[in-house]
């Protein structure tokens, strides 16, 4: 999964960008549709959070 981090002027991560092809794959895998309520993606959100922990740049204390 190619993940790009979005950050503010202070360097704090404020969001994550994934390519549309990856989003479409995740939609298909987790049966997410445009009409699906946002809270129904709880499993997807949890798995994405776990994936981010694995690839998140290490905090250098700066």
What is residue 33's DSSP assignment?
-
Q: What is the pLDDT of residues 9-61, one digit of tens each?
A: 999 999 989 998 988 888 898 888 777 566 657 777 888 888 778 776 665 45
- Give the pLDDT confidence score for residue 41 in this predicted structure: 72
CA distance 34 to 60: 39
Q: Which of 24, 25, 6 is nearest to 15 (CA)?
A: 6
Q: What's the pLDDT score for residue 37?
A: 60
21 within 8 A of 36, measured Cβ to Cβ: no
Phi, psi for 4 (deg, rounded to 5):
-120, 135
Report pTM: 0.47
């Amino acid at each position: 999964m190619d993940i790009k981090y979005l950050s503010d002027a202070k360097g704090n991560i404020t969001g994550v960008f994934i390519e549309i092809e990856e989003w479409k794959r995740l939609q298909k895998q987790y049966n997410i549709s445009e009409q699906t309520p946002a809270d129904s993606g709880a499993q997807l959100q949890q798995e994405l959070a776990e994936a981010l922990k694995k690839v998140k740049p290490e905090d250098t204390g700066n």
